[in-house]
Structure 1
Amino acid sequence: MKCYLINLERSADRLDWFVSNNAFPNWEIVRVGAVDGTTLEAANRASLLKQKKSDYPMPAGVLGCFLSHRRAWSRMLEAGDEWAFVTEDDAHISKSAMQLFSNSDWLPDDADIVKAETTRGNTEVSADSRPAKGGFRLRNLKAAHRGTAGYFLSRKAAARLLKLTEDYCDPIDEVLFNPELGLTGKLNILQLDPAISVQDVFAKRSSGLQPTIRHSIPKQKNRMPFGPAKIEREFFRVYRKSVRPRLLTWMRKSSFGQIAHADD
């Protein structure tokens, strides 16, 4: 299976680090030149920011990360891959995941994306699961689970995402893995359990890599103007945090942060 690795041209050291730390016999690393958001022309950046649908901030690094992942999807389509693994150059990939990269037979036909990453936080997944390979399970992802340092992507999903984001621009992990933005409702997204990928900043044995593609994201959000969109968003947020957990007893919270394989 191909691994599309997003890496800035100036970050040759990170490319070397990734290759040496994540050497598997059953995958082919394809470097995708990352977009440096700080080098975008002001007019181009302003045009992209007009396409934002949310109140999440989009500093230069986050904008570059969004464009970089779109570039990886395009490369995948050009190559004709039915499935591929997309990651970033600060990801630790578990050695126990080696068998998952030998082929794509274990990936369900109805799946669009299989998120393989942990950020060591809680997220909401289905209690029901189905087997993957080698003891791994697949669960439906039911709530926001941010991070884009490891996901299996189908060809059909790559084509659809490129179409959906032609006139849309938001932080890439919100676009892919936050149901509040709406795009995830158009895709069938599963979570690999246990997770096999973790960014260096969350790794138990961190190498001390600093973010380069996307710089630190400000915690303060821009405020959404009051109106129907804000009312709907607030209702959805309260529903997910208070009402829904009491009603949907068949769903469980799973702390992927407790899954050790990602640090092997």
Structure 2
Amino acid sequence: MQALVAAAGVKPVFVEAVDGSKLSASAMLPWRRNEKRALLNTGEVGCLLSHVSVWERIVREGIDHAVVLEDDLVISPTFRQILLRIGDLPDFDLLRLETDRSPIVFRHECELEIAGHCVHKLLRGATRTGGYAISRRGAHRLLANFNDFEQAVDVEMFNPRRSVVDRLDMLQLVPAICVQAELVPGIAMQAPYLSSGIDTLGQRADTRLGKRRPTNPTAMESIRAVLRPIKRVAVNMLIRPLGQTERPIPLIDFSSPHWAVRNNTAKSSSALR
């Protein structure tokens, strides 16, 4: 990540991530106080606390805006142009810079064009926290609700239907300029230092609550997979008159070798000013 960001002409500030597997029993106790919180595994708690430490630094140091990049992220050559224009945006809490190619709901209207990208109002459905910009106001709002968080950090940030945060002004960059390395075919072999350090299986309540996430799709999940495209068409028919759309966010072309910079040192979550 250090080499990728440096190649974009940006000097990063590295923030040491929290390793959830090394948290003491007493540190994990607040995350076991009810059944919902107990569903978070140590990796998810560590990831959440890592982002919280960045938000706290933004508030403490009075930083107007910061861009947060996790250590397993692939970034676009246009990263610097986007970074330089964030201050031109209207008041916002979060600007999502990445995509996981899952459909999200956002407004048709482009609020601002930056270096060939459009900024849209993000409404719901986004996942992952690999790359986003956050304002000091957004950091304040998230920290004000932190003690009541019961979901993974991406849910609390980007899914108002499930989050305890009342309201966040969220934006989405289209096309996205970054993606987590696990979603780019072959990247793990070419750049193993971009591998995620978080438990990918996310076994949450298995031994503690007698529950397990299925490793194979259930019959209902298979049916849902077939019905999902039909549902998306139906949803779009309903929300388009409201100026909204539900679709995956495209990723800017990564055919350039820019992102495949070799680096022998893996770093933790980083906040860029």
Give the TM bin, normalised by the shorter chain.
0.7 to 0.9
Q: 2:271 aligns to what? A: none
2:159 aligned with 1:168: no
Q: 2:215 aligns to what? A: none
2:40 aligned with 1:58: yes
Please say if residues 57 and 217 of structure 1, whose CA atoms lie closer than 8 Å, have aligned partners that are also in contact: no
2:50 aligned with 1:68: yes
Q: Indicate the SS of the match to 1:76.
A: helix
Q: Indicate the SS of the match to 2:109.
A: coil
What's the offset of the Cα at 1:174? 0.8
Q: Distance in 2 between matches of 1:51 and 1:243?
A: 37
Please say if residues 124 and 254 of structure 1, whose CA atoms lie closer than 8 Å, have aligned partners that are also in contact: yes
Structure 2 vs 1, CA of residues 132 and 51 (structure 1 numbering), >3 Å: closer, same or farther? Answer: farther
Query: Partner amino acid for 1:260?
Result: I
Q: Distance in 2 between matches of 1:127 and 1:220?
A: 39
TM-score by length of 2: 0.73
What's the offset of the Cα at 1:212? 0.6
What's the offset of the Cα at 1:100? 1.5
Q: Distance in 2 between matches of 1:263 and 1:189?
A: 29
Q: Distance in 2 between matches of 1:84 and 1:241?
A: 34
Q: Distance in 1 between matches of 2:133 and 2:176?
A: 12
2:195 aligned with 1:202: no
Q: Indicate the SS of the match to 2:147.
A: coil
Task: Select the residue among 237, 248, 258 that pairs with 2:239.
Answer: 248
Structure 2 vs 1, CA of residues 216 and 106 (structure 1 numbering), >3 Å: closer, same or farther? Answer: farther
TM-score by length of 1: 0.76
Q: 1:97 aligns to what? A: 79
| Stretches of structure 2 lacking an aligned partner (at least 5 in a row) | 212-230, 257-273
Q: 1:212 aligns to what? A: 197
Q: 1:13 aligns to what? A: none
Query: Partner amino acid for 1:81?
Result: I
Task: Select the residue among 34, 45, 61 that pairs with 1:79.
Answer: 61
Query: Partner amino acid for 1:172?
Result: V
Q: 1:260 aligns to what? A: 252
Please say if residues 235 and 246 of structure 2, whose CA atoms lie closer than 8 Å, have aligned partners that are also in contact: no
| Stretches of structure 1 lacking an aligned partner (at least 5 in a row) | 1-17, 224-239
Report how many aligned residue pairs link the two structures. Answer: 228
Which deviations, in whole Å up to 9, do the C-alpha atoms of 1:182-206 show, x marking residues without a partner? 4454111011111011000012451
Q: Distance in 2 between matches of 1:127 and 1:103?
A: 21
Q: 1:45 aligns to what? A: 28
* Higher RCO (C-alpha 8 Å, min separation 6): 2
Structure 2 vs 1, CA of residues 87 and 214 (structure 1 numbering), >3 Å: closer, same or farther? Answer: farther
